[in-house]
Structure 1
Amino acid sequence: MKKKGVTLVETVVSLMILMMVITMFVKIVRDYNININTRRIKERLNRLSYCVMNELKYNCTKEEIRLQSSNNKIGLKNYENIFDDLKNRSLLSLGRGNGVEIFFNNNTNDSLKIKVTIYEEGFIEEMEFVKWR
C-alpha cells in the first residue's frame, strides 16, 4: 500500500532545517549591523581627530594653545554637530568637556608636542604630532 501525504517526522525535520536557516540569517544580519555601527563610529573619530589636528597645526598659534590650557591639557565636548561648528568657529572657542582631550608639552621654544585623544561610545582615537609655529 502506498502512503500519500507527509509524515510527522518529515514535517519536524523540515521545520528544524528551516529554523536553523532562519537562526543563521538573524545572526548574520545582527553581526552586519554591529560592524556597520562600529565602522561608522571609527570613521567619525578618525575624521574628527584629523580635523582637530589640522585646526591646531594651521589655525592656532602655540601661544593661543598655551593660554587656553590648564595643566597642559585642553578638554572639549564631542557632540553631534562638532563638524559644523569647526567650519564656522575656532577650535579653541568650542565648549569645554571631556570628549576631545588635547595634551601637550614643551619640547623646545620652537616646537610643541601635541597628543589628541577622542572618546565616543567606548572607542578611542589618538593622534600625535609636533607643532612648529
Structure 2
Amino acid sequence: YMTYIVTILFYIATLAAFQEDGWSSGEELGRVFLILLVFGFAFLPLTYLLSFRFDVPASGFVKLMLLNIFTGIIFFMAVFLLLFDGFDLQDVGRGLEWGFMIFPLFALSHALSNNNVASTT
C-alpha cells in the first residue's frame, strides 16, 4: 500500500506542477489525495480477492482489466448520459448511480467528476 501512496504523491505533484483550473489549489489537491487514498482501500482488496478466481495469472490480469474498464468507464458514461438534461431519464440515472457505487472504479470516476464540478462552480 505504501507504493500506492508514493504513486499518489507523484500524481498530486504532477497536478500541482501543471496548475490546471480545478486541480491546482491546496484544497483541491487535498480532495484528490483523499479520493485516491480511499479508492486504494477499496480497490486493492477487491483485486486481491478476485485474483483467486483465475488459474492462469495472465488471463486473470486481462479479465480483471476488462472488468475494470467496463465498471470504470462504461458505467460512468452511461450514468453521465442518463443524468443529462436532454434525456428524461434522471430517475433511472440516479438509481443506477447508487447501484454502481459498489464498483470502486465507478466511484473513483464519479468522485473525481464531482470534485471537478465543485471546484469550477
Q: Give the structure-2-normalised TM-score.
A: 0.30
Higher RCO (Cα < 8 Å, 6 or more apart):
2
Between Structure 1 and Structure 2, the one with more strand by share is 1
Q: Give the structure-1-normalised TM-score.
A: 0.28
Greater C-alpha Rg: 1
Between Structure 1 and Structure 2, the one with more helix by share is 2
